[in-house]
Amino acid sequence: VSVRLVETIGELRKLLQEARRRGQSIGLVPTMGALHAGHLKLMEEARKRDDIVVVTIFVNPTQFNQQEDFKNYPRPLSDDLKKCSDAGVDFVFAPSLEEMYPSPPLTMVAVAELTKHLCGPFRPGHFEGVATVVAKLFHIVQADRAYFGQKDAQQFAVIQRMARDLNIPIEIVPVETVREPDGLAFSSRNRRLTLEQRQAATVLFRALRLVEREIQRGVALVEAAKRPAVALIGAEPLARFEYLDVADPETLHPVANVTGPALIAGAIWIGDVRLIDNIRVSA
């Protein structure tokens, strides 16, 4: 394994300071590990643009709504290191819980408005946890660019706005969602699905495509455009509907009528696994 595993903030800062002094640019790929094709795409994009690629692997407790989900989150570190090595990553920063949070944080970063809709109401505190840990990582790594997947469209918008509002000098690069041949978006949580559940999980992407089809065929009223898709999810016995919305891609506020580019986003539960996905559409 050629990638270097770094476990402390002090050591990482020292290594990156040296790189910066040599005039090398730094690309950051923040992850929670259990790396899949979506993450590999982030690394590939980082590798294209930056001289030094840093992948962080930290299962961040402050963004989980359920202790169980945090405990069950997969942590295959040696597999992950191998993947990073194969992808040409320079440093993997995998700090312990104590290293990242020596004591429970009294400072949290909250991004208003963008977290009001879509996943926000269903995951109270989640985006504060994400914005806080990402702000910490931005300050630790001081990268030139950071790469995030579009599957988490709301997370992307929140992080972009957080960096802007807090004057963190970093370019946030969006990277397209990577899908399985049947449309299911890669997610670390997919590996918790049984074979049967894995089949059922495709219903989310099919539902998003149905909304898109309705919009493209001229159904501007969102309530009507959503109807066949909501029925499709309802007809899948292994899936539980959480939400399906068409939102303004900038504000992430749901729209009642589609008049321009929009984000179709949804979440379902399969057993105790929550899956999200989204696609963009222009009316």
Shortest approach of ligand PAF to residue 126 CB, angstroms? Answer: 9
Specify the residue, 150 or 236, whose C-beta has the smaller distance to ligand PAF. Answer: 150
- Strand-by-strand arrangement of the 261-270 sheet: 239-247, 261-270, 273-282
Q: Return the active site residues.
A: 39
Of residues 120 through 139, those in contact with ligand PAF by CB under 6 A are: 130, 133-134
Shortest approach of ligand PAF to residue 148 CB, angstroms? Answer: 7
Specify the residue, 43 or 281, whose C-beta has the smaller distance to ligand PAF. Answer: 43
Work out whether 81 is an interface residue with ligand PAF (CB under 6 A): no
Specify the residue, 31 or 278, whose C-beta has the smaller distance to ligand PAF. Answer: 31
Among 269, 274, 215, smallest CA distance to 247 is for 215
Of residues 150 through 179, those in contact with ligand PAF by CB under 6 A are: 152, 155
Measure CA 216 to chain center.
27
Shortest approach of ligand PAF to residue 161 CB, angstroms? Answer: 14
Binding map of ligand PAF across residues 23-42, x = CB under 6 A, - = no contact: -------xxx----------
Q: In Å, what is the CA distance from 261 to each residue of 132, 197, 205, 253, 255? A: 30, 32, 19, 13, 11
Shortest approach of ligand PAF to residue 236 CB, angstroms? Answer: 26
For helices 9-21 and 126-141, the axis angle rounded to 10 degrees is 50
The residue count for binding ligand PAF (CB under 6 A) is 10
Binding map of ligand PAF across residues 41-60, x = CB under 6 A, - = no contact: -------------------x
Q: Which spans of this chain sit near ligand PAF (rule: CB under 6 A)?
A: 30-32, 60, 63, 130, 133-134, 152, 155
